[in-house]
Amino acid sequence: MMSRTAYLAAPLVMVLLLPVVGLFVSPSAADVVAGANHPLFAPALWLSLRTSVLSLGLIVVMGTPLAWWLANSSSPSARVVELVVNLPIVIPPAVIGVGLLQVFGRRGLLGPWLESVGLSVPFSSAAVVIAQVVVAAPFFVQASANAFRKVDDELMVVARTLGESGPGAFLRVALPIALPGLIAGASIAWARGLGEFGATLLFAGNMTGETQTMPIAIYTALESDVRAAVVMSMLLAAVGVLLLVALRFAPAAWKWTRDLGGPS
């Protein structure tokens, strides 16, 4: 039987669950087909996939060494950098979008220099990627730093005494141990980038095929065809649900895989 505490928590669980349930039970099959055939659907899906994968690649390449440094440095500067990395988590995305305009816009901090070399960042696909990187990177860096903190320092020392260089010890020892945490962080960062709305809308705009990602297409479709908005929402919700399920079972699967590769 459910405890009294569980009954008290039930309303919150229902509030969290009902929007997702409503997405999948309200539309008919005909509505789903019509929404998937909407002109906004395919371009927004392709743009979201393209930009989110690119932004994730940039986050992993730049964020992994940063996470390693944060996990192994006790200097005050590392704590300051960690605070800076986490700022986009607590700052509203719309504010980040305005800030990006103030940096890359024509009259922004870098605007005149960019214009002098013939580059215009705002309201372009590059702006979409930058916005996704800014809002999603903290999730990867934080998860990766926590994973690297679980690497035993003695294992790294042993690897070095056996002839491994610093990078070699990192790749052969630290990275495999921390890999589940890195994958989890990358997955969450990708989902956050895929669902980014506020910063992207203000910094990149709403141009079909150029800057109109899935969340922005949902916002646009609500004005003309709710069916398309529902179908795109269903797709993003399904991605999120599958991602959570995969992350939930990933540790057990990883342990099982390592046990298979170990000695019998």
By the 8 A CB rule, do 175 and 145 touch?
A: no
What are the start-end ranges of the H helices in the chain?
4-25, 29-36, 41-72, 76-90, 93-104, 111-116, 125-148, 153-161, 166-169, 175-194, 198-204, 214-221, 226-261
Distance between CA 260 and CA 249 in Å, rounded?
A: 17
Q: In Å, what is the CA distance from 211 to each residue of 129, 138, 239?
A: 10, 23, 21
By the 8 A CB rule, do 135 and 192 touch?
A: yes
Domains in the chain, CATH or no CATH each: 36-255 (1.10.3720.10)
Residues 6+ apart with CB under 8 A from 254: 179, 180
| pTM score | 0.88
Closest alpha carbon to 70 in 4, 149, 154, 177: 149
Q: What is the pLDDT along the chain (264 residues), one digit of tens a residue?
A: 557 777 778 888 898 888 888 888 888 888 889 889 999 999 999 999 999 999 999 999 999 999 999 999 889 999 999 999 999 999 999 999 999 999 999 888 998 898 888 888 999 999 999 999 999 999 999 999 999 998 887 777 777 777 667 677 787 888 888 888 999 999 999 999 999 999 999 999 999 989 999 999 999 999 888 999 999 999 999 998 888 888 877 666 656 666 665 554
